[in-house]
A and B are shown apart, each in its own frame.
Chain A
Amino acid sequence: MVAIREMPMKEYVLKGNAACAGCMDTLSLRHALKALEGDVIQVVPACCTSVIQSLWPKSGLGVPVLNTAFMAAAATASGVRAALKVKGRDDTQVMVWAGDGGTFDIGIQALSGAFERRTDFLYVCYNNQVYSNTGTQRSGATPLYAQTTTTWYGKTEPEKMLDLVVAAHEPAYQATANAAYPRDLYDKFRRAREIHGPKFIHIFIPCPQAWNYPVEKGVEVGKLAVETGYWILWERIGDEFRLSPQSKRYQDPSKRKPIEEFLKLQGRFSRLFKPKKDEKKIAELQAYVQHRWDILLRTFT
């Protein structure tokens, strides 16, 4: 794994950007762009990053950024890739940087189409499990019982298992990452960079605004997601699957912290604890952790 001192010093996420305090999307983007070393055209549909990059005529990012419509990121990237091919620039990365709404929901058709066409690009879904840019409405990535402004008493369905949908397209490279594990994230972007074909990286992004935790706790929340087994770090090069070491140790359920530790830090799950603790729902979420592991390992191993 890369040491922090080995990462390039050059910054591509610039000072003066418009991110919220404690933004974990911006943190991930910082390490992702370091890994790609600027040779990238970044396609951004409607999402938090459309705001974070800051207002015209300034730009808070040191790479070319093409903003596009909510449902059109992967289609736009397909066009960029085709143009680069015509110009003979096959080594420049085309990277979509899209939220969970733009990926799980409104953008999934374009994503599916671009992957089926074996488009050579990297699609990144930075997933904070909610439409946070529009004020925290539920998305297809919102977990069971999370409160949002369209599920005030908690969502009644679990999230879509998007990774399985993506895997059905047999991408050249697929990985999960977590904003709280920048070295792992960096390595995965480095690997993606060397592979041609449709590539997908799914990043877990704690969001202080939408999840209602103190802004300085982003890394802590992100780590708890892995330590409780809630978010599993893995990668797949072609059909070669491997659990990332950070998650490998939590394959054994007895090593995992109880899900409650992850939930209780976040206001979006407050109804599970107030006015009185809802043991049944917490147990359901605990059981769902194992369900995710079972599905993942059954599918890929």
Chain B
Amino acid sequence: MKTMLMSANYAAARAVVSARVEVVAAYPITPATTVPEQIALLDEEGIYKGEFIRVESEHSAMFACIGASSAGARAFTATSSNGLLLMDEALHWAAAARLPIVLANINRSVSPSWNIHVTHDDSMSKRDTGWIQFYVASVDEFYHTIIQAFRLAEDERVLMPVMVSADGFVLSHTVSPFDYLEPEEVDEFLPPYKPPHWVMDPDNPISHGNIVFPEYYQEFRYQMHEGSKNSLKVYPEIEAEYKKLFGKYFGGMIAQHRCDDAEVVFTAQGTVGAEAIDAVDELREQGYKVGVARIRMYRPFPVEEIRKLASHVKAFASFDRGVSYGFGGHAANDIRAALYHSPHRPFVKSYIGGLGGRDVTVEDIKEIILATVRAVETGELGPEETWHDLLE
């Protein structure tokens, strides 16, 4: 392990080398572009040993990954926003084919209007495709979570593709130290690829994807659902092993900070969840019993972890950097749904903000947490949904 200084995108390209990826297919889109750019350079310099297909669209990028994975190769792509949306059909396909492809998504706002900065709408709108989803908060976490993602995706109990999302520009173009692992070091954790699934092989001809009538289709979907949910128990095992081998741990499915005795817990996905640590520490100094729970694994949704938290907090302030139009914050809705069949149902206040890359500062987060503290004190929930920092 050695420390390197790079942006999240450059680090992602290094993760591709470390994980001994065999086929990359990618198409440029800001802010993901520097991932394929770096992979191209590493390819041309012989540092990346696999094949790099410089495809003509994101739709083709994911289908090239599907083709490669079907023929038994470890496959990777990276994209953002409209690129991810163009892949939609392919994302469903990869998950239903149970192919352990890993995708680095650099969260970017969806057009129109053109905006290249972070909003989580792109990946959040893909939460029902079957892809396991992670949201990260640092360059180091992005790099290591991509390596872990292959191990999780390829686990026979899971066999579902994994999407690791990082906030556009906040991480993608921000240089920060991270701990790089040589492929030889990673081998012990993630050996060179031996596909645990069906493969296209003329010596053993099978066909994949032919017609399935109503008498069997549902069972395939059930297995996808079970595979996805299995990652709730497989990921903690993987993380424990990773920690033992490399001393790296990013906090499980929900990374918690000062939640143990907290009365109000701020939740968020991505970098806002890291920013909130400072906000919580400052409020703690002022005597407020508050904490932050950063949701790292969003699909499958860590229902039990949320319920555990709910058993000892008085309110959640859920912050979403995206919207399910007509129904509000994605994570807020999921937290509420997770608690419906739970004996503990604290307030869940939903905050939407930071869209289009608008800054979310420590002061913003403190304001949100304090508004939630007031709701607890007064016993009045107030508005179920608040658009934070909305211009009049």
Contacts and interface: CB of A to CB of B under 8 A. Distances in A.
Partners in one complex: yes
A86 B200 contact: no
B202 interface: yes
A77 interface: yes
Contact of A78 (B60, B93, B200): B60
A280 interface: no
Choose among B65, B67, B68 the residue with the greatest number of A CB atoms under 10 Å from its CB: B67
Contacts of B212: 55-56
Contacts of B54: 117
B208 A66 contact: yes
A75 B63 contact: yes
A68 B209 contact: yes
A62 B202 CA distance: 9
Contacts of A84: 71
B17 to A, nearest CB: 15
Nearest to A77: B67
Contacts of B59: 71-72, 75, 110
A114 B125 CA distance: 29
B231 interface: no
A65 B204 CA distance: 11
Contacts of B57: 75, 109-110, 113
Given A65-B210, A68-B63, A68-B66, A86 B50 contact: yes
Q: Which secondary structure dominates chain A's binding surface?
A: mixed
B64 A82 contact: yes
B29 to A, nearest CB: 16
A57 to B, nearest CB: 8
A72 B70 CA distance: 14
Contacts of B67: 43, 66, 68, 75-83
Given A72-B90, A116-B56, A79 B211 contact: no
Main secondary structure of the interface of B (DSSP, over half): mixed
B208 A110 contact: no
Contacts of B64: 75-76, 78-79, 82
Interface in A150-179: none
B207 A80 contact: no
B209 A67 contact: yes
B280 interface: no
B190 to A, nearest CB: 17
Contacts of A63: 202, 205
A137 interface: no
Interface stretch (A24-32, A33-41, A194-202, A233-241): A33-41
Q: How large is the interface on A (under 10, 10 to 19, 20 to 34, 35 or more residues)?
A: 35 or more
Interface string B227-241: 000000000000000
A67 B60 contact: no
B207 A39 contact: no
Contact of A66 (B53, B65, B70): B70
A87 B72 contact: yes
Contact of B200 (A61, A66, A72, A82): A66
B223 to A, nearest CB: 14
B95 to A, nearest CB: 13
Nearest to B60: A75
B202 A61 contact: no
Interface in A55-112: 55-56, 59, 61-69, 71-72, 74-87, 92, 109-110, 112
A61 B207 contact: yes
Contacts of B256: none
Contact of A50 (B68, B90, B210): B210
B201 interface: yes
A180 B381 CA distance: 76
29 contacts: A41-B201, A41-B202, A53-B210, A55-B211, A55-B213, A56-B212, A56-B216, A67-B209, A68-B63, A68-B209, A75-B25, A75-B55, A75-B59, A76-B64, A77-B67, A78-B55, A79-B70, A80-B67, A80-B68, A82-B51, A82-B64, A82-B67, A83-B23, A83-B71, A83-B72, A109-B60, A110-B59, A110-B60, A117-B54
Interface of A: 38-41, 43, 50-51, 53-56, 59, 61-69, 71-72, 74-87, 92, 109-110, 112-113, 116-117
Listed from nearest, the 10 A-B pairs whose CB atoms lie closest are A79-B67, A67-B209, A113-B56, A75-B60, A83-B71, A79-B64, A65-B207, A83-B73, A72-B63, A79-B68
